[in-house]
Every structure is written in C-alpha cells, then in structure tokens.
Structure 1
Amino acid sequence: MGSPEAAGRALTRRVIGIETEYGISYRHPAGSRELAPDDIARYLFRPIVAKYSSSNIFMPNAARLYLDVGAHPEIATGECDSLIQAMNHERAGDLIVDELAQKAEQILREELPSSSTPPRKGEGRVYLFKNNIDSVGNSYGCHENYLISRETSLKKLGSRLVPFLVTRQLICGAGCIIPAQGDQPAQWSISQRADHVWEGVSSATTRSRPMINTRDEPHADSSRFRRMHVIVGDSNMSEPSFALKVGSMLLMLEMIEAGFELPEVELRDPITQIRQVSRDLSARPPLECVGEKNISALEIQQGYCAAAKRWLDYRQEEGTGTTNAQMVKVVDLWERALGALESGDLSAVDREIDWVIKWNLLKRYQEKFDCALDDPRLAQIDLTYHDIRPGRGLFLVLEARGAVERWSSDAAIAQARDLAPETTRAHLRGRFLRCAEELHAPVTVDWLRLKLNDPEPRMVELGDPLSAHSTEVEELLALMDAHAQRWATSS
C-alpha cells in the first residue's frame, strides 16, 4: 500500500508550466465589418512588435508571449512550483492578452471606422476566448508541462498515465456542444479536446496530436531533467477545475515515481474510448481493457482517487511547492466530483467544475428558450462562457457575482501579471528582463539562457528550473548596472 520510504523517493516539488492558446475574433455591431484572425492578430500584437521588433517575447513576469500557428495568441507561464502559483500565473495571462485586446480596439476605432451612415467609431470589439475549439471545429490547445527526472522513462510513464488522462475529463473538462453532423444530432461533450487527439504517447504534436508528447526538449540540464508535455487537457475558466486538473496530475506523478500501488489498467482503444467518455455524463459504460475485466471511466477515476487519498498519509513536503493542505483540498474535490457523477446529483460540484457549471447554465437557457441543443443561442452561450473580458464573459460574470468558488484572489493574480514566480529560475529571468527594460540594455532571453549582448556578449545558462538563486546572474546584473550610462546615452 506504500511506505514512508516510497514517499521519500517521490518529487513533491516540481516545475509546472501552462501554455494557453486563445481563440480570437472581431465584430462591429454597426455593420458587416469583420476581420480575419490573421488581421486581428496583427492589430493585437502591434504594440509588442513596435516595442520589441518581434511577436515572440519574454515578459518581466517571466512568461513567454507569442503568436502561434493559426493566429492564436499564446502565453506560456513562467516556471511555477505549486499548483496555486501556476493558477495565478495562468490567469494573469488572461489579463495580459485582454489588455492587448483593449489596445487593439483603440487602434481599430481610429483606423477602421464603422460602415454605418454616418460613421460611428468606438463600437468594434476584439474577442479572446480561453477555450479549445472554434465554430468550424478547429482545435487549439492548453498544454501542461511537468518537470521529471531524466532517470524516468517518459514513454513508460506516459503509458501508465493514458487511462488516467482518458478519464480525467470527468473531473476537469470544460464541456462544449458538438454541432449536428449529418444524421447525428447536436451532442454534449464533457471535454473540448477529446475529439482532437489521435495517439496516446508520441513525439509528434500537431501531426498526430497525442495525449502526451515525448519530444525530448527539457529546456533545462538534459543530463538531469525531462519535460512531460501533456496536450490533451481543456482550458479551464474555473479555479477549482484548474486546481483539480493540475493537482491530480501532480499526485499521479508522485505516486508513479514512488512505486506506490495504483490500479493496473490498460485500455484496449484509448482514442476511441476518450471520445466515448466525453459523450456520457453517467461515466458508467464499461471500457474494454487488455487482459483484464472491463471497467468504467468512473471506476478508473475512483481507483486513482482512492490511491491519492492513501498517498497523502505518506506524502512529504519539500519546503516550497504544493502543500499537503492544498493536496487535501484537491482530493476532497476529486472525491466529491466522482461522488456527484455516481449519484447523478451534480449539485455538490456545480460551483466548481467547469463542465457542470456550463451544463447547468445551458439547461437553464434551454428551459427559458424552450429549444434544442442545436439552437444557435445556446452555441453563443457556450462560446461566451470563455470570453476573458471582465463584465462580458459569462463565467467571469458568474465569478464577479460570487456564483462560483475561488481558490485564489484578484490581488494574487494581478501580482502575477507583473512579477515572476519567486521560487524558481523564473525569478532570475524576471529580474534580468526588468533590469534590461529599465536600462534599455540589449539582451536575448530563452527558457534556458540569459544573454547580455553589449558591450561584450555574456551569457548565463540556468540548467536547474527549481533554483531561484545564481551568483552568475547577480554578476550579470551588476555588469548591466555598470554600463547603464552607455545605453542611456545611446537611447
């Protein structure tokens, strides 16, 4: 059942990073004026390009902001070492891109007047959606990154996690309406990403879109670390859903690394089965397994949750990181979510789990409009749930009214917008970038390296993502201070 010795071998402090891609659109209510996503993205990133001569930058809070394939703005958080820290920085990304959207609206008011007569400015709106599927079925991701030891076989680890990921959507999916296709009526799906993955574990990303990407790109000392790249998860609006998504994965990684006893499950056809699970709110139909009796998605999750609860008796904290108290909250929500599914009464988690919050919202509107699931008004509600503009996005309206639960605060999220995580190497990157910005110093930065380009190129490599201290970085900052007058004169 596990032991204190096993707990000692598990890494309970590890780097977490979240990559969020946003859907984008523009509407002008006074006429038919619309813009293609590529065009909107150019307006969105115009201030960034004007300042940095690039649409791919690192910011003073240590996050990376860039324009991804398909004209999707994307933010990758700085390295975090706890789920609450990761939550704050993931939500801070919403603030950052929404600020860009508001600036883009100001530019468009001047450059793209209304088509009405007489022209009316100031009405066009840029919309950013933290979701994973657009109106024509294209999918974009929310990727999770977890630091693991180089000694861990990523492929073997991935194969053990596939049954967990196939069924994890039950507890943290974002939910969506799947439009009618041919004779198939519109359907409800617990997950937005379930229909858009094609392999369990693979080194590809866009071509086959696996649940776990095994490409060896650690962004760290490759002799010590690997990066596990999870592609299958939905973007979350709800803080408890995010905490459960990340927290349950952290617990699974800890238990697997420690050799802790877990249910032995191998699904016969994970790609077909992840789609089956997404369509069934009962989670009860048995899934065909290899060499064992068939088992339902609910039973699979119950087995993992029960193991995680036992693991908490042995789990050892490592200074910073996700605390045992936070993990107790994660397991409590995990249990309640599964209990709600088992009983069919979702009220126990209808303020916490994204897909349940949205499902109840849609049902209320169905009753109000007396309409079927394929009604365009419901599709609009489905989409507007993910609008990140405060006062406009439906989820954020619910949050402002106190109708959903919080795990963090607006103050903590606002701080994460401006400041890097303090307990990882992101802290060093943030200090370096802030100093460079203040002094107008020419620098180059990536996940692993900090480089001062003038007067003589000097680079520091940060191979340990968990280390927030570096004598070499201190020397580099001192060198920048020594040359401050040089750049002040040239600027």
Structure 2
Amino acid sequence: TLLDAVQATRHVSRDTTQRWLVDLENGRTIAALDVQWRLHALATKHLGGIEEETDWLLESWRYTLDALPHKPEALLGGVDWISKKWLLDAFRESENLSWNDPWLQSLDLEYHNIDPERGLFFQLQPAKRIGEWNHLVRQKDVTRTPPVDTRAAGRALAVAAFRKANRPYVINWDSIACESHDCLVMGDPFQTYLEETDRFVRQKHEPPANEPPL
C-alpha cells in the first residue's frame, strides 16, 4: 500500500529523472511502473475476456507500460506529457532556449489550446499505433454530447443555459458558478446533477427581488 497516494502522484509527476520511486507503508520503495504492472495484472485477471472494449483498454494499458521505459516516442500523440515534452524539447533545441524562457511558457499554454487551428497538439504527428487508436476512438459527437451518466451532463446543461443567456460563468470539474461566488458543488463524478443544475440555472435566471421581471 502506498504511504501517501496523493504525494506519490505529485512526486512522480515532478521527477524528471524518470525513476518514479514511491514510498510504501512498510518503509520500502517501489517503482511507479511496477505498481502499474501489478494493477494491470489484477485488472486482467478479473476483467479480461469479459467484453471487447475492456480488452482493448487492457491492451492499450499494457502497450503504454511496456513502451514508457523502452520506446517512449511510440507514445507520441497518446501520452500527453511525452508529447508535450517532445515538442518543447525540439523547439528549445532548435532555438537554443533555456527552460526558463517565457517563449516556452507560451508554447506550453498553446499546446492545450482546443482550437484545431491553434493548438500545438493538433500539429503533432502521432506515432503509427497511437494514430490508429486516436482515429478509432475519436468521435465528433463527443465534443458536443457529454456522457449521460456522469456530472459532465450537469456541466453541459449549465454551459448551454449560461451561453444562451449570455451570462458569465465558471465551470470546474466539480462545481459550476455564475456571476457571483454562489456555486453548485458536484462532488460525485458518477452523478449527473441534472435536477440540481436545472434549479441552479433557473435561480440565476430569476431577477432579484427588487428588480421587476422583463
């Protein structure tokens, strides 16, 4: 068992040596990849062969774990940090920049731009197998149609309502807010919060008590 799962995640994400060692409750350390391999083995044992989609996920997981230490370039376009680091490394070397250069910070932001015309991710040529996966799983309708059984459904309802009313809003993973500090908390990722969101949106559309309705 990990001593502190949150701290371990932070440590791994900031370990540029890519050793990725994490602490266990028994005082020992273990490589994060070994943890992943153990989890993969358990998932394969209990979930393998049940359905095609699950088997595809298990195979994608296995391929990623195998490629990480041996051939990370095979994951370009599929693993986000590998893709972004490759782009930044290439640009930094071509322009002879240091990692502290503001130019790289700007590129870092542009990598995540979801506009296909501007986002650097969309300019990346993925590795062959990753490209095939991306083509297989990407569906145009998911950019406008959220999952129906998660809080994404509630977030989508709020975005549509606030955009239609031309109201300023803030959307986080676990909350929505409109114009003020009042917010609707969505703590459970597997609830839709559709009824709660509908009430919240209607409340925000109602005029203040001292203001006559339009």
Q: TM-score range by the shorter chain?
A: 0.5 to 0.7
Letter in 2 for 1:397: Q
Greater fraction of residues in strand: 1
Residue 120 (structure 2) aligns with: 394
Quote the offset at 1:383 in angstroms.
0.8
Residue 447 (structure 1) aligns with: 194
The alignment status of 1:411 with 2:158, answered yes or no, reads no
Residue 111 (structure 1) aligns with: none
Quote the offset at 1:369 in angstroms.
0.6
Distance 1:410 1:314, change over 3 A: closer
The alignment status of 1:302 with 2:37, answered yes or no, reads yes
Residue 66 (structure 2) aligns with: 339
For residues 325-366 of structure 1, give each alpha carbon's deviation from its aligned partner in whole angstroms, at most 9, with x where no partner exists: 2222222222222222332x2022112111111111111102
Number of matched residues? Answer: 162
Structure 2-normalised TM-score?
A: 0.59
| Separation of aligned partners in 1, 2:23 and 2:63 | 26
Distance 1:421 1:332, change over 3 A: closer
Quote the offset at 1:277 in angstroms.
0.9
State the secondary structure of the residue aligned to 1:448.
helix
Residue 374 (structure 1) aligns with: 100
Quote the offset at 1:283 in angstroms.
4.3
Distance 1:342 1:422, change over 3 A: closer
Residue 358 (structure 1) aligns with: 84
Letter in 1 for 2:123: V
Alignment of 1:166-205 (within 5 A): none
Alignment of 1:212-361 (within 5 A): 265-267=1-3, 269-281=4-16, 283-291=18-26, 293-313=28-48, 315=50, 324-343=51-70, 345-361=71-87
Letter in 1 for 2:69: E
Rg larger for? 1
| Separation of aligned partners in 1, 2:76 and 2:124 | 12
Alignment of 1:57-206 (within 5 A): none
| Separation of aligned partners in 1, 2:129 and 2:48 | 33
Contact 1:385-1:395 within 8 A present in 2 as well:
yes
State the secondary structure of the residue aligned to 1:336.
helix
Letter in 2 for 1:448: E
| Separation of aligned partners in 2, 1:273 and 1:423 | 30
| Separation of aligned partners in 2, 1:311 and 1:421 | 25
| Separation of aligned partners in 1, 2:75 and 2:10 | 23
Distance 1:276 1:423, change over 3 A: closer
| Separation of aligned partners in 2, 1:304 and 1:313 | 13
| Separation of aligned partners in 2, 1:410 and 1:305 | 27
For residues 134-181 of structure 1, give each alpha carbon's deviation from its aligned partner in whole angstroms, at most 9, with x where no partner exists: xxxxxxxxxxxxxxxxxxxxxxxxxxxxxxxxxxxxxxxxxxxxxxxx
For residues 382-437 of structure 1, give each alpha carbon's deviation from its aligned partner in whole angstroms, at most 9, with x where no partner exists: 1100112220111133379x9963243453335xx2x565789x6xx98xx9xxx9
Contact 1:283-1:297 within 8 A present in 2 as well:
no
| Separation of aligned partners in 1, 2:91 and 2:108 | 11
State the secondary structure of the residue aligned to 1:287.
strand
Letter in 2 for 1:413: V
| Separation of aligned partners in 2, 1:302 and 1:409 | 26
Contact 1:386-1:395 within 8 A present in 2 as well:
yes
Quote the offset at 1:291 in angstroms.
2.2
Distance 1:291 1:448, change over 3 A: same
Distance 1:404 1:370, change over 3 A: farther
Higher normalized contact order (CA 8 Å, seq sep 6+, divided by chain length): 1
Letter in 2 for 1:330: L
| Separation of aligned partners in 1, 2:84 and 2:26 | 38
Specify every segment of 5 or more residues in structure 2 that has no aligned partner in the other structure, as ranges.
165-192, 203-214
Structure 1-normalised TM-score?
A: 0.28
Contact 2:48-2:58 within 8 A present in 1 as well:
no
Quote the offset at 1:368 in angstroms.
0.7
Greater fraction of residues in helix: 2
| Separation of aligned partners in 1, 2:146 and 2:8 | 39
Specify every segment of 5 or more residues in structure 1 that has no aligned partner in the other structure, as ranges.
1-264, 316-323, 438-445, 454-491
Quote the offset at 1:290 in angstroms.
1.3
| Separation of aligned partners in 2, 1:389 and 1:277 | 30
| Separation of aligned partners in 1, 2:10 and 2:20 | 13
